[in-house]
Structure 1
Amino acid sequence: MARPWPTRLAFRSSDRALHATFDDGVTVRVPYELLRVESPSAEVQGHAPDQKKLVTGKEQVEVTQAEPVGRYAVRLTFSDGHNSGIFSFDLIRELGENAGELMAEYRAKVAQAKMGRG
């Protein structure tokens, strides 16, 4: 079975989100903040699961550029200068399908980290 393929990637500053439509009819919305804090780059993910960094302060981040990478991904440049994450189309779909849950988990981690600094 073929994997769903994006037929449209729309970057909308109005709601700070990537809207991706796939050839199986599914459309997902991925907030720019989620794209930034879940960037697949080593800067964010580290080189092992226990090295993932908690990136904060990205509520207002914008995507300023998107470049195709082969036929499987897109490299995003963010308004804070981050540009080393290559987002596979599978990852974009996964982030979009789980955006609500992922954002809730992220916000809980940020709140916990802030309480731990007091």
Structure 2
Amino acid sequence: MKRPARQYKGQVPTDIRLHRRSRTLEIAFDGEERFELGAEYLRVYSPSAEVRGHGPGQAVLQVGKEGVGITGIEPVGQYALRINFDDGHNTGLYSWELLYDLGANQAQYWQDYLDALADAGYQRDEEPPQ
């Protein structure tokens, strides 16, 4: 596994914007880094036990999430977001550290996901029109 591109160093978000139409979450950190994270990407990398399992090797590959959207976001204390998806999923807290990691390493993690889908024999559908 490759090393993360950039490391989280306690940055906190300075701006968080949900773009429902484009199904993206835009998040800026105090280190002046800004990431646009798609709903599908956030959903398949959910920190919930439903996705990650309860221990090593128990992760469940998420399929059929191409058209998922985000219906809302809720702050949790001063450290995380709860993301509500339109497929009913809303468990798992996206800590600032996790969101930074997902942003900084998006290209690699997305490719890892596409590779896992291919290995499982799943053909990803084209995204529906916006």
TM-score after normalising by structure 2 = 0.83
Match of 2:26 among 19, 22, 26: 19
Q: Which residue of 1 aligns with 2:5?
A: none
Q: Greater shift after overlay, 12-21 or 48-57?
A: 12-21
CA deviations 1:27-86 (Å, max 9, x no partner) are 112111111011000111111120000001111111101111111001111010001121
Distance 2:109 2:38 in 1: 11
Q: Which residue of 2 aligns with 1:75?
A: 82
Match of 2:107 among 87, 94, 100: 100
* Counterpart residue identity of residue 57, structure 1: G
CA deviations 1:10-29 (Å, max 9, x no partner) are 11134322110111111112
* Identity in percent: 41
Across the aligned residues of Structure 1 and Structure 2, the Cα RMSD in angstroms comes to 1.3
For structure 1, list consecutive stretches of 5 or more residues without a partner in the other structure: none
Q: Which residue of 1 aligns with 2:51?
A: 44
- Give 3-state SS (helix, strand or coil) of 1:76's partner: strand
Distance 2:92 2:69 in 1: 14
Q: Which has the higher contact order (CA 8 A, sep 6+)?
A: 2
- Give 3-state SS (helix, strand or coil) of 2:54's partner: coil
1:3 corresponds to 2:15: no
Deviating runs (4+, > 3 A) in structure 1? Answer: none
Distance 2:88 2:21 in 1: 20
Q: Which residue of 1 aligns with 2:98?
A: 91
